């Protein structure tokens, strides 16, 4: 039976750190606060906002939910982001996805102040992850994939990592973060003719395609570790990852969905909120605790 890489275990360690940092900020007279923009109409967006709210409450972080009817215009959202950018009592800003069809996520996200952009979606933060400047806030899901492996004691330097998926949200930024971990990375995608052969020499596979059964037991070897960053909703309403259920018997370790990467992603957002507070303090020349 393969070892389970559980997001919850890893997240608890992160949350313990964050709680300490939140207390320090409060002693210094600052209430850490996260604002999220929710355009009504999509159950997934609403679910993500609620999940964050619950975690915020546990951590002592103030949570400001800004809800908008599904008919809201881009201009109205941009105006609210401008207000939140200028508000010194708000330290992190997120836009919940997916949005209604008449709104373009990238155009709205680009307006977020980079130092408050806790999911690394602005052009400045995208460039930072690609160029490895060491500055900026990196997207949460790619960070969660790496943090999960590190929590379970995996060394990435010199290891062969096969990434399946090259999306803008997970695959590509993760490729760059893995460079900084000194892994040797192969990137597979929909036009890769034989993904199984690309897994032969891999120590670790990370899947982020958004399609169930992208990796099955037949494609893997016993020594492989699989990190599953996919979240797919099935017809019966249940959630599954990109890896097939039969994988559990065929590999040495894997992250379950739900309960793996996704769980840790929320923790990474709040870790970014702490980093965002440091960045904002630095920008103002203020002392951080």
Annotated binding site for NADP(+): 165-167, 231
Selected binder of a second copy within 144, 188, 209, 220 (CB under 8 A): 188
The CA distance from 176 to 178, in Å, is: 5
The residue range among 8-16, 27-35, 185-193, 275-283 that interacts with a second copy, by the rule CB under 8 A, is 185-193
The residue range among 9-17, 195-203, 248-256, 272-280 that interacts with a second copy, by the rule CB under 8 A, is 195-203
The CA distance from 139 to 122, in Å, is: 10
The residue range among 145-153, 184-192, 226-234, 266-274 that interacts with a second copy, by the rule CB under 8 A, is 184-192
Does 169 bind a second copy (CB under 8 A)? Our answer is no
Name which of 79 and 189 has its Cβ closer to a second copy: 189
239: which DSSP letter? E
Selected binder of a second copy within 130, 211, 239, 258 (CB under 8 A): 130
Beta strands in the chain, from DSSP E residues, in sequence order: 3-4, 33-39, 62-68, 92-95, 160-164, 184-188, 204-207, 225-228, 232-233, 239-240, 253-254
Direct distance between the N- and C-terminal alpha carbons of the chain, in angstroms, rounded to an integer: 45
> Least CB distance from residue 10 to a second copy, whole Å?
25
Phi/psi-derived region of residue 147, left when phi > 0, alpha when psi is between -120 and 50, beta in every other case: alpha
> Least CB distance from residue 49 to a second copy, whole Å?
26
- Residue 55's alpha-carbon distances to 13, 109, 161, in angstroms, are 14, 23, 31
Residues of this chain that interact with a second copy (CB under 8 A) are 123, 126-127, 130-131, 157-158, 166, 168, 172, 175-176, 179, 182, 184-189, 191-193, 197-198, 201
């Amino acid at each position: 039976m393969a070892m389970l890489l559980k997001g919850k275990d890893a997240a608890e360690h992160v949350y313990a750190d964050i709680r300490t940092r939140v207390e320090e900020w409060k002693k210094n007279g600052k209430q850490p606060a996260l604002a999220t923009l929710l355009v009504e109409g999509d159950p997934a967006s609403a679910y993500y906002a609620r999940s964050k709210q619950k975690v915020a409450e546990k951590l002592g972080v103030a949570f400001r939910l800004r809800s908008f009817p599904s008919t809201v215009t881009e201009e109205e959202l941009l105006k609210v982001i401008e207000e939140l950018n200028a508000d010194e009592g708000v330290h992190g800003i997120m836009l919940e996805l997916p949005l209604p069809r008449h709104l373009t996520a990238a155009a709205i996200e680009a307006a977020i102040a980079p130092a408050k952009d806790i999911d690394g979606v602005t052009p400045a933060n995208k460039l930072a992850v690609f160029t490895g400047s060491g500055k900026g806030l990196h997207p949460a899901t790619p960070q969660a994939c790496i943090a999960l492996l590190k929590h379970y004691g995996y060394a990435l330097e010199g290891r062969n990592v096969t990434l399946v998926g090259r999306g803008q949200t997970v695959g590509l930024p993760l490729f760059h973060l893995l460079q900084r971990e000194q892994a040797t990375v192969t990137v597979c995608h929909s036009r890769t003719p034989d993904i199984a052969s690309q897994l032969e020499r891999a120590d670790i596979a990370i899947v982020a395609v958004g399609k169930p059964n992208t990796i099955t037991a037949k494609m893997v070897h016993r020594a492989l570790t699989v990190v599953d960053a996919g979240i797919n909703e099935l017809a019966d309403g249940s959630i599954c990852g990109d890896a097939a259920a039969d994988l559990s018997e065929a590999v040495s370790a894997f992250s379950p969905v739900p309960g793996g990467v996704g769980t840790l992603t929320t923790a990474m957002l709040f870790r970014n909120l702490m980093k965002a507070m440091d960045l904002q303090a630095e920008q103002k020349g203020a002392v951080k605790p």
